[in-house]
Structure 1
């Protein structure tokens, strides 16, 4: 009798665990036949989230209302002409937001658009203003990650490659291209500066909560570097960790000093084992959450924590995923 009760209890616990896991995950399909909610941002109201998708649109998701248009990289971005496959094929006309982040002091949303350069959208939304499409006379070919220093408002962003365009990302990875760069844009001076060169697929970047350093992922090299902004090491860089496989976007977790990193295992046949990896300010892995059961073998591009929930984005998937922690 005791063993029977134990078995029943174990089965009930297992069932509850499955139900709990299912209940803690929600899918938010992208409207308008658009895809790839690659990155997320949150404004000072704390209501809903923002994400950039194929075709050059920035959506705002409002609880109880759903997705609404917030911003557009180009005039074409607003039209149905940039929906679906056409928006992907003609990203040089429509745009393709990659990294996004708010300056919470001004309410402006900064966007690293993969083919079209660095942009900013006013606090009320609308059309983006192009800030720069080159640095030192060399055009950006493939922007990717972006973050705003919470202490100064300075914008840090990356180019995945200086030789390949977004449409040739597979070639860039296969050739182990190392022409990526880390930039900074100072809004007070309106100047873009190159901070690091020779990076191998820098897909994401994140500034520490105290503004002392910025982390830069190297997707192709399975490495994360740290560039020092302040202190005795200011202006220098160092290897931060090799413990995260094929890191994509990096996002700080409030003022905790920790970061979430989107990770996959890149193979000859494509990405597999997508995961959310939490690391601390010393580069030590604190937690790994597999999301393969929710996303399959998809290139998970960002994991962003906000008010006890993980927002998970993909490069080409049809939905944004949210996991309750």
Structure 2
């Protein structure tokens, strides 16, 4: 019996080591040249975008501004603001969440690479746009079917048609009351689309539990949507709109997904922004701490970013892959993290 127990334990250790060899192959290591683009008197670069000239990154921060990276010598520069009545003396550098309804809180960002306009999902002011020279963003739409948006969150753009797909995470709770949304398991979130040609907004699907990140497939045939409270990614097929929008589950996760971003190859990065204590393996005490996962179009895991138990990445909202680097956004931190893809 003792020999049997020893054999079982030995085999378990062998399988554990093999599993970690496989995981180390899939998992993206944290290289020594990881670095950060620090923000000055600002925090919370939740989403990241690059313009039609490949300049940037651009980030939306907690005080309602959108900043553009000008390079190491010039750093960050104010590019745009989302609030129509913003008071710089009150808002600049603000981190008080109760000031967000006044100052704005830009979340999702995406450039239309044909028009060079930047589209913005502001948690309080709805879907906005600003031209390539920046300035004060103009509001495109702030309600649908007579119901005002309460937490406009993420977006993506079909550059062939100009159609904008976006989420309103709740029609009951604002972002500053997000805790109440979680506690009540609010299911009033909506997936929407906006046609800039007709200036009409359409509700594609309602009754979602905090719909969050949005990403179109490379051929624009389907749309991925993070349903955060159910810890899953949904796949909406766009080819048969006349019969309604039907979704299937793309992947089920063990952590809460935030933003979803597609790279040039058509692969999807999902930012995981919760459970920062790591995933405990009771048998061996091994902590896995995935903060980002890359999937192919079939939902197969390609790579993972390990947060090292929160020591390297303690808050991740988005991973944007651009020119061979991963730009890592956070709704809390005062910097953008960068590592090699």
Superposed pair shares fold, TM > 0.5: yes
1:195 correspondence with 2:204: yes
Q: CA deviation at 1:138?
A: 0.3
262, 267, 273: which one pairs with 1:252? 262
Q: CA deviation at 1:27?
A: 1.2
1:130 correspondence with 2:139: yes
CA contact (8 A) 1:225 1:240 kept: yes
2:231 paired residue number: 222
1:306 paired residue number: 322
Using a 3 Å threshold, how does the CA distance of structure 1 residues 122 and 306 change in structure 2: closer, same or farther?
A: same
Structure 1 residue ranges (4+ consecutive) displaced by more than 6 angstroms after TM superposition: none
1:63 paired residue number: 71
CA contact (8 A) 2:262 2:268 kept: yes
Deviations 1:39-98 (A, max 9, x none): 011112123211101111010102232111111112554613203346532111110001
CA contact (8 A) 1:245 1:263 kept: yes
Using a 3 Å threshold, how does the CA distance of structure 1 residues 20 and 239 change in structure 2: closer, same or farther?
A: closer
Q: Which has the larger radius of gyration?
A: 2
1:206 paired residue number: 215
Deviations 1:164-217 (A, max 9, x none): 110111221232211111010010110111001111111110011111111100
- C-alpha separation between the residues in 1 aligned to 2:312 and 2:255? 19
**What is the TM-score normalised by the length of structure 1?**
0.86
- C-alpha separation between the residues in 2 aligned to 1:86 and 1:223? 30
2:7 paired residue number: none
- C-alpha separation between the residues in 2 aligned to 1:310 and 1:228? 28
1:293 correspondence with 2:300: no
1:37 correspondence with 2:81: no
Which has the larger strand fraction? 1
Q: Any gaps of 5 or more consecutive residues in structure 2?
A: 1-28, 278-287
2:88 paired residue number: 79
CA contact (8 A) 1:96 1:114 kept: yes
Using a 3 Å threshold, how does the CA distance of structure 1 residues 34 and 80 change in structure 2: closer, same or farther?
A: farther
Please give the residue correspondences for 1:233-252 in structure 2 after superposition, counting only pairs within 5 Å.
235-243=245-253, 245-252=255-262
**What is the TM-score normalised by the length of structure 2?**
0.82
2:339 paired residue number: 323
Q: CA deviation at 1:20?
A: 8.0
Kindly tell me the number of residue pairs found equivalent between the two proteins.
299
Using a 3 Å threshold, how does the CA distance of structure 1 residues 41 and 293 change in structure 2: closer, same or farther?
A: same
C-alpha RMSD over aligned residues: 2.2
- C-alpha separation between the residues in 2 aligned to 1:110 and 1:72? 12
